[in-house]
Amino acid sequence: MKILVTGAAGFIGFHLTKKLLEEGHEVMGLDSINDYYAPSLKYDRLAQMGIDQHSISTQPIVSSQRRKNFRFKKEFLENAGALNDLLKNEKFDVVANLAAQAGVRYSLDHPEAYMNSNMVGFLNLLEAVRKYPVKHLVFASSSSVYGLNRKIPFATSQTTSHPISLYAATKKSNELMAHTYSHLFGIPVTGLRFFTVYGPWGRPDMAYFSFTKSILEGKEIPIFNEGKMMRDFTYVDDIVEGTISAIKHIPSGDPAWDARLADPGSSSAPYRIYNLGNHAPVKLAEFISTLEELLNKQANMKYLPMQPGDVEETFADIREATRDLRFHPTTGLREGLQNFINWYRSYYKV
């Protein structure tokens, strides 16, 4: 297939792009390479796929020096004209949208970044796909859409009408926008709710990354909600496998969908929502003790109240993903954290 991956220099987008290239697909990567965290990490990810940083600033589309089936373009989704031209000229089979302004806490102080990237950018993408159709649009949503829900595990059949961060609200809005376009224009769309993804080449703002850095440097780490948190940590390779399965599983309208019950995870339109999580939440205390053991160093912890926008627990019900996508996460926390630590020590020369 010929696939556009937006957010290709980001954490998950990088791993997805690498795997798609290994499978022999033709991939165009697109990323704005913003400075939410160090752009050098994003450029280093691209370098792993043969994209020269200096070429990005001089060429509209850069071809990989290592992979004949990979090209890259630096662009914002907010640039509707450039996005339309790209889809018109390239005629993609699939668009995998992983570009977004990430982070719950950042959204408290920088709401405009989320409206621009996650709302305007996503609308531009939907419009481009409407004008220049593809076989399938797959996009990243988030477990944060479950918000105030307390029915565990989180299932796609549950309501997600009470987000508690602007980031979550934009992801919920993306799901609603995608359904509207799927219903109106028959666009096959799949949304994937990712649950706390971690692994090598990860995002420095994520807890596992910042905790590792602080423990190794002997710095204090903040433990919010007095440590009474649980997260469904999901290794990035498992997320990528689920995403590729979703790409290949093009939805059609569900003939059994009942408008009186209105299951939000499916539709009479060619639209589906899936949870991609490990289905095995871990207590924060266990997570930190595992990190301490693997790093052979004790954490200096500072217990703090709950942060605005955070939820106490995430736990993915993955029955639909297992049934339709054959999604079976296989990487346990210890193995996944060890892989991350090995990468971290190598990359930062620790």
Non-local (6+) Cβ contacts of 213 within 8 A are: 204, 219, 344
Q: Are the C-beta atoms of 273 and 141 separated by less than 8 Å?
A: yes
Note the pLDDT tens digit of each residue in 161-186. Answer: 999 999 999 999 999 999 999 999 99
Low-confidence ranges of the chain (pLDDT < 70): none
Strand residues in 51-194 grouped as ranges (E):
62-63, 70-74, 94-97, 136-142, 189-194
Say how far residue 114 (Cα) sits from the centre of its chain.
15
Structure-block tokens of residue 315: 């736990």
In this prediction, residue 309 carries a pLDDT of 75
Name the 3-class secondary structure at 191: strand
Find, among 105, 180, 149, 139, the residue nearest to 312 by Cα.
149
**CATH class in words for 2-195+234-278+318-329:** alpha beta
Among residues 36, 114, 146, 167, the one annotated as catalytic is: 167
Neighbours of 286 (CB within 10 A): 12
Note the pLDDT tens digit of each residue in 298-313. Answer: 999 988 887 787 788 8
Q: For the chain, what's the residue count?
A: 350
In this prediction, residue 310 carries a pLDDT of 78
Annotated active-site residue 167? The verdict is yes
